[in-house]
Structure 1
Amino acid sequence: MQKTRFDELVDFPCHFTFKVMGVASDSLPDQVVEVLQEHAPGDYSPSVKPSSKGNYHSISVAVRVESQQHIEILYRSLSDIEDVRYVL
């Protein structure tokens, strides 16, 4: 984990919105929620927005995170989904 002032600037626990962009598929939102459930169990209702040509989906979901390390774990795990191209 990198040393940053992030922990000083954010009061944990808090809700953090992740935006996951990946290849358009009906299963992508379910895959994202599955990963989130593994690391941060909760009731998630992701927002899905298709790209202008419909080739990609942008999935936004707010997650309760406990620490900077928790955020980094979620970023890595979401990035490991095969169809995911970016996690913001």
Structure 2
Amino acid sequence: MQTEFDKYLEFPCLFPFKVLGAAREDLVDDVLAVVQQHAPGDYSPTVRPSSKGSYHSVTVQVTVTSKDHVETLYKALGAIETVKYVL
């Protein structure tokens, strides 16, 4: 990824990741497992269902330490099988 996070953020900082995926019970667990792998900590994600209930949005605030850390988390969260988007 060729992002410019380092131009706009001062590290370390809290960074919100919003993960949109298929509405299933394991989505939150899968998101937290990836986050724990790359940034161990105690997290309290918020979950919102889509209007039709087909998708869930999971938002989690993660303390990131660098541009590479942000990019790694984006890639890892996007690799979850039922995830459609990571914002």
TM-score by length of 1: 0.94
Structure 2 residue aligned with 1:70: 69
Structure 2 residue aligned with 1:79: 78
- Residue by residue over 1:6-32, the C-alpha shift from the partner in whole angstroms, topping out at 9 and shown as x without a partner, is 313211000000000000001100000
Note the 1:8-87 alignment, pairs <5 A: 8-87=7-86
TM-score by length of 2: 0.95
Structure 2, unaligned runs of 5 or more: none
Runs of 4+ in 1 over 3 A off after TM superposition: none
SS at match of 1:12: coil
Distance in 2 (CA, whole Å) between partners of 1:59 and 1:45 is: 10
Identity among equivalent positions (%) equals 57
Structure 1 residue 75: deviation in Å? 0.2
* Corresponding residue pairs, total: 87
Structure 1, unaligned runs of 5 or more: none
Structure 2 residue aligned with 1:2: 2
